[in-house]
Structure 1
Amino acid sequence: MAMGPLIKAASALAALNVLILLPLIGIWIRNYSTFRTNLVGGLVVFAVAMLAENAVAVYFFFSMSSLYAGDPHVQQAVLVLRSLQFVAIAVLSYVTVQ
């Protein structure tokens, strides 16, 4: 079954989250090796968990798209959640680069 536009957008956001998280993890690992603080270590763990979650989501969007295909409300909810996650990761990235 083909993916609808909402799930395509959600999968694109998940892929974009992966692309944003990769350099963010690199920055935070570099910062952790310099400062060795629990806060930066926690950010690394958080980013790795978010990276894994988004990578698995992208895999499932493409391999099991029928899971979300039936109900447009579910598709809309998935898109809203991916959008909120993107905003959160984008803000963290902006703050980190500053």
Structure 2
Amino acid sequence: MGTQIVAASALSGVNIVFLAALTVVWVRNYRTFRTALVLGLIAFAVVMLVENAFALYFFFTMQSLYSGDPHVQQAVLILRGLQLVALAFLTYVTMR
């Protein structure tokens, strides 16, 4: 497995941690407020959790998809990094 895919896998793992924290907070808020907006946030977090879990699965089981082209590996790493930045901001403002 290439270095960039290992880094992308690590970023997916961190994204999962952020999303799990967000889900816990939003479920707690939904129990209090019962609004459609908070329910939408929970649905967003669950879908993103599933997407990141599948990404990790594919990184480790289907390495041939990413190993052939270094440009693809770089693109995957950049996309995981951008997702991490977005989730870090969202987690920061949610936890405040």
TM over 0.5: yes
- Unaligned runs of 5+ residues in structure 1 are none
CA distance in 2, matches of 1:33, 1:71: 47
The one-character-per-residue Cα deviations of 1:61-93 (angstroms, maximum 9, x if unpaired) are 001111100001100100010001011111110
CA distance in 2, matches of 1:36, 1:88: 25
Q: Find out whether 1:65 has 2:63 as its counterpart.
A: yes
- Unaligned runs of 5+ residues in structure 2 are none
Please, which of 11, 16, 22 is the counterpart of residue 9 of structure 2? 11
Amino acid across the alignment from 1:59 = Y
CA distance in 1, matches of 2:86, 2:34: 24
Please give the residue correspondences for 1:7-86 in structure 2 after superposition, counting only pairs within 5 Å: 7-86=5-84
CA distance in 2, matches of 1:19, 1:59: 16
CA distance in 2, matches of 1:61, 1:80: 15
CA distance in 2, matches of 1:44, 1:89: 14
TM-score normalized by the length of structure 1: 0.95
Q: Tell me the secondary structure at the aligned position of residue 94 of structure 2.
A: helix
Aligned CA RMSD, in angstroms, stands at 0.7
Give the length in aligned residue pairs. 96
Task: Please name the residue that 1:87 is paired with.
Answer: 85
Identical residues among aligned pairs (%): 64
Where do 4+ consecutive residues of structure 1 move more than 3 Å?
none
